[in-house]
Amino acid sequence: MKKNISQTIRRAERFPVILIGEGLLVGVSAGLVVLLYRLALTFAGNALNEILGFVGKDPLRIAGWMAVLVLLAVIVGKLVKLEPMISGSGIPQVEGEILGKLSENWKRVLPAKFVGGFLCILGGLSLGREGPSIQLGAMTGQGVSRLLDRGKTEEKYLMTCGASAGLSAAFHAPLAGMMFSLEEIHKGFSMNILISVMTASVTADFISSHIIGIDPVFQFTIEHALPQEDYWMLLVLGVILGVMGVFYNRLMLKAQDLYKKPAFLGVTGRLVIAFLAAGAVGLVMPSVLGSGSGLIVSLTAGEMTLGLILLTFVVKFLFSAVSFGSGAPGGIFFPLLILGALLGGGFAMGAVQLFGLDPMYINNFVLLAMAGFFTAIVRAPITGIILLFEMSGSVSQMLSLAVVSVAAYITATLLRSEPIYESLLGRILEGPGERKKGTAGGQKVLSEYVIMGGSVLEGRKVMDIHWPNNCLLVSLEREGKELIPRGKTVLLAGDRLTVMTDERDAGYIHDKLENLCYTSF
């Protein structure tokens, strides 16, 4: 056991150099996997459009397509039963594993998530590529770690690198990929993880853009920055987005509950409902199928009236709940951006009529609302601002993006809405699934925590603190210098603690240390 501990500590000392090379390797591997997934989903979307065009209004062809959708649902249901960790977005599963609370098998998750996500988009479900891309990237990172026989501490870093590379390759957004993986997945910053994640993210983006191109995902024109005398509208929009974000989170969770009430449905039955709903929606409003990227084009080109925007928003909103609540492998990330865009476009058109807003600023509000809605739902404002900046290629909107995002964040927080991915992770942990297994004396895991000002640790001696069982305070970093913590060492705000524990106890220790470092009572 002592040998295991000393090896873990000695290797951790070399992490700054080791992780750069491994981040590069994960970036290449995850970038290629997610690029292939992105191309596959593009093919699925194009194929769906051709199928719907062929089906038309012919009753026999409609019946045939419905039968095909049932078959697709059955296949996806078998994949979900084979590997339950592919259900839904995949981001909560990755978070759970990074925190030491869940266990995934990359050999099963990678192919099952890839095929399941492809079939869901082919069927027209209102799901996105970002969550699956993040999970595929993280599982690629886990695979690299296992193939290189790395320890659990290193594996967490490589999974974070993979998650960053996945989002970067999916959206041509390397900075957002880096920030999201640190802000939402890893939930912490250090030079070790920052440099390696940046390496993986940039590498994956280079590979993806080299093959697909460097054009931003959203290609609509924003001619001028919004005048500051109109910023009061941003505050109003932020409040609306905050309220709607809370409603969105509750509806997604409620949809899951409604699906689970009829016990006879099972995994496959829930998916059959979602796929048949996609078939029905495709006959009357095909524009809301899939991620809905075509709606952005119509909206920003001025092809939609205010009434059509509101109708499309309601249908897309409800259809997204039907799709995601079924447990189908797919994300909510891109569909929620589309919903935010519709809210922004509708708000701007209303402002043109009521407050005399210049119509040339409508596209500004489309972009700003996407960031605000994302922030209200995910509660990751920095990622939201950077993501929309990279996806649109517009630098002039940074201040207004921040105003809307902060207003939406505050509103959602005051309404006591938990971030969507935390809610989903909590539900996974409550239900049957792959918990982190292990025995005392197994692999050791190093975790880092920063003491926040006002927390219960600030100003107290190490020996006076009731530390969780089965953890060892290994080192303390203060102002860039590493100290050996002793019993009489007084902890200060800003100190970075490195703690070692058994793999089995990693999730429990994480929760306890988070409480100690962040709470004031």
Give residue limits of the domains in the chain. Answer: 2-212, 228-265+275-429, 438-518
Secondary structure of residue 106 in the 3-state scheme: helix
Single-letter amino acid code for the residue at 177:
G
Q: Which of 316, 335, 346 is nearest to 377 (CA)?
A: 335
pLDDT exceeds cutoff 90 at 26: yes
CA atoms within 13 A on the CB side of 494: 5
Stretch 361-382: mean pLDDT, rounded? 91
Helices (H), 90-215: 91-98, 106-123, 130-147, 152-171, 174-180, 191-212
Q: Report d(CA 196, CA 20) in Å as an integer.
A: 5
What dotted CATH number matches 228-265+275-429?
1.10.3080.10
Stretch 87-95: mean pLDDT, rounded? 91
CA atoms within 13 A on the CB side of 517: 20
pLDDT for 2: 47
Q: How confident is the model at residue 399 (pLDDT cuts 50, 70, 90)?
A: confident
Could you please state the CATH topology (level 3) that the domain comprising 438-518 is classified under.
Alpha-Beta Plaits (3.30.70)
pLDDT for 439: 44
pLDDT exceeds cutoff 60 at 138: yes
pLDDT for 255: 94
Q: Which residues of 82-121 are buried (b: 16+ CB within 10 A; e: fewer)?
A: ebbbbbbbbbbbbbbbbbbbbbbebebbbbbbbbbbbbbb
Secondary structure of residue 32 in the 3-state scheme: helix
Could you say which of 3.40.50.880, 1.10.3080.10, 1.20.1050.10, 2.30.250.10 is the CATH number of the domain covering 2-212? 1.10.3080.10
pLDDT for 77: 95
Q: Report d(CA 510, CA 429) in Å as an integer.
A: 15
pLDDT exceeds cutoff 90 at 142: yes
Contacts of residue 52, Cβ cutoff 8 Å, sequence gap at least 6: 282, 286
Number of C-beta neighbours around residue 151 at 10 A: 18
pLDDT for 102: 87
Q: Report d(CA 32, CA 54) in Å as an integer.
A: 33
Look-up of token digits 């990622």: 383
Q: Residue 361 has which token pair?
A: 């600023």
Stretch 305-329: mean pLDDT, rounded? 94
pLDDT exceeds cutoff 50 at 482: yes
End-to-end CA separation in angstroms for the chain: 35
pLDDT for 497: 84
Q: Report d(CA 503, CA 339) in Å as an integer.
A: 40
For the CA atoms of 32, 38, 41, 43, the dihedral, rounded to the nearest 10 degrees, stands at -80
pLDDT exceeds cutoff 70 at 14: no
Q: Residue 444 has which token pair?
A: 């050791």
Stretch 436-460: mean pLDDT, rounded? 72
Q: Report d(CA 405, CA 370) in Å as an integer.
A: 9
Secondary structure of residue 496 in the 3-state scheme: strand
pLDDT for 9: 54
pLDDT exceeds cutoff 50 at 1: no
Q: Output the average pLDDT for the chain.
A: 87
Number of C-beta neighbours around residue 437 at 10 A: 9
pLDDT for 438: 47
* Percent of the chain at pLDDT exceeding 70: 92
Secondary structure of residue 448 in the 3-state scheme: strand
Do the beta carbons of residue 217 and residue 172 sit within 8 Å?
yes
Single-letter amino acid code for the residue at 106:
W
Number of C-beta neighbours around residue 214 at 10 A: 11
More confident residue, 372 or 454: 372
In terms of residues, how long is the chain? 521
Q: Which of 468, 478, 476, 472 is nearest to 514 (CA)?
A: 468
pLDDT exceeds cutoff 80 at 279: yes
pLDDT exceeds cutoff 90 at 491: no
Q: What is the CA radius of gyration of the chain?
A: 23
* Identical fold, 2-212 and 228-265+275-429: yes
More confident residue, 187 or 200: 200
Secondary structure of residue 274 in the 3-state scheme: helix
Q: Residue 22 has which token pair?
A: 């491994």
More confident residue, 334 or 453: 334
- Range in 1-5, 244-248, 344-348, 513-517 with the lowest mean pLDDT: 1-5
pLDDT exceeds cutoff 50 at 478: yes
More confident residue, 410 or 154: 410
pLDDT for 258: 93
- Range in 49-63, 127-141, 288-302 with the lowest mean pLDDT: 288-302
CA 399 to chain centre: 24
Q: Which long-range contacts (CB under 8 A, 24 or more apart) does 207-212 make?
A: 207/27, 207/28, 207/31, 207/32, 207/35, 207/169, 208/31, 208/34, 208/35, 208/38, 208/168, 208/169, 208/172, 209/172, 211/35, 212/35, 212/38, 212/39, 212/172
pLDDT exceeds cutoff 70 at 359: yes
Q: Report d(CA 83, CA 468) in Å as an integer.
A: 33
pLDDT exceeds cutoff 50 at 440: no
